[in-house]
Amino acid sequence: MHKPRRSTPSPQAGKAIELKHLRSAVAAADCGSFRGAAELLRSQQSSLSRTIDEIEHHLGIAIFERHSGGVRPTQAGRDVLRLARTILDEFDALIATARSAHNSGTGRLTVGFCTSLSAGNLQASLLAFKERFPQIALATVERSRTRLAAALRNGAIDVLIVTGSLPLLDTEEMPLWSERVLVALPHDHPLAGRETVCWTDLRGETVLLSHYDAGKELEDLLISKLLSPEDRPKIERHDVSRGIVKSLISMHTGISLVLESDMGANYAGLTYRELRDGTGPSRFDFSAYWRAENNNPALQEFLKLLSERYSPPPVGR
């Protein structure tokens, strides 16, 4: 196993570390191996390995532990990788913003979200907007709620589609739709044979959740449904995307909680079942949030479309 480095970070680390170092490290963490990361980035494994060695040298720490099955982040490496993802997300958002501004002289709209785009109301709303306004450049950003809120505050995003409340000043809110909470299981899991699954059935299971979507809200819901720690499943929080969590489920490392729109992402070997208690299915409400002072015409058109699709019926009807 790789022995963690104890050396002091290089004085030139800030200048020496490049985006390629961050992308290589994040890819290795997502894939669990240098070989998989090299295939993902379309590079040579030896070249990627040297890149990882370089960033570890410049930082003076071991980001990964090497073992026969691949690599896993060290404790210090998890902190580095979390920040690396933030830097890469911000850089990619910068490039997308610049391209949209360059390519579109008729307006642009940036939508942030933490639900699935593979199916459901969000996908349908964006498709309807593009059909109605094909001349408007549409950019989408998927991040954690905290980072989405920061992007909305600094103007990098026009509107957010998220669950729960967003404690920001000078923001407007529009309630939208709700989605059922489901459990994602390997197809041969004992619970997969049931039509529905009760929260109490999760006792003794391992629930995998991501740091980068609605994982925190799902964990809070689970705890509220199973008040006794003895009745709760083991919770593992992974510093990976929702897609990687589903890959881990297919590898029989655990199960996960997802929202209804996630069913649209087709992963081989996975089964979805509705989670219920004595009051029925559990649901998450989604709302749109935007800054009150944002006068982007594209935003106003998008809000008008959302109001048409999801406004509540008049009282008495």
Whether residue 289 sits in one domain with residue 171 = yes
Burial 111-137 (b: 16+ CB within 10 A, else e): bbbbbbbeebbbeebbeebeeebeebb
Domain encompassing residue 53: 13-85
Q: Other CB atoms closer than 10 Å to residue 15's CB: what's the count?
A: 9
Paired sense of beta strands 283-291 and 159-163, if any = antiparallel
**For the segment 17-35, what is each residue's pLDDT rounded down to a tens digit?**
899 999 999 999 989 999 9
Structure-token pair, residue 252: 């029989």
What CATH number is attached to the domain comprising 62?
A: 1.10.10.10
Whether residue 155 sits in one domain with residue 70 = no
Whether residue 267 sits in one domain with residue 173 = no
Whether residue 124 sits in one domain with residue 261 = no
Determine the Cα–Cα distance for residues 53 and 5; give it in Å rounded to an integer: 11
C-alpha distance from residue 91 to each of 19, 20, 112, 156 (Å):
9, 12, 15, 12
Q: What is the mean pLDDT of the chain?
A: 85
β-strand partners of 271? 185
pLDDT for 86 equals: 84
pLDDT for 97 equals: 62
pTM of the entire structure? 0.65
- Total domains in the chain come to 3
207, exposed or middle or buried, with CB in 10 Å at 0-12, 13-18, 19+? buried
Whether residue 151 sits in one domain with residue 297 = yes
Whether residue 69 sits in one domain with residue 46 = yes
Whether residue 196 sits in one domain with residue 273 = yes
Whether residue 242 sits in one domain with residue 195 = yes
pLDDT for 121 equals: 87
Residue with tokens 């790789």: 2
Structure-token pair, residue 131: 């059909």
Determine the Cα–Cα distance for residues 99 and 146; give it in Å rounded to an integer: 25
Whether residue 304 sits in one domain with residue 159 = yes
The residue type found at 237 is R
Pair 71, 9: CB distance under 8 Å: no
Determine the Cα–Cα distance for residues 20 and 143; give it in Å rounded to an integer: 21
pLDDT for 190 equals: 94
Q: Which residues contact 84 (CB under 8 A, 6 or more apart)?
A: 22, 25, 26
Whether residue 130 sits in one domain with residue 270 = no
pLDDT for 14 equals: 57
**For the segment 233-285, what is each residue's pLDDT rounded down to a tens digit?**
999 988 777 778 888 898 899 999 998 888 766 677 899 999 999 889 999 88
Query: Which residues of the chain, if any, have pLDDT below 70?
Result: 1-15, 96-106, 115-119, 167, 169, 212-214, 264-266, 312-317
Determine the Cα–Cα distance for residues 187 and 306; give it in Å rounded to an integer: 36
pLDDT for 264 equals: 67
Q: Indicate the SS3 state at residue 54.
A: helix
Determine the Cα–Cα distance for residues 102 and 107; give it in Å rounded to an integer: 10
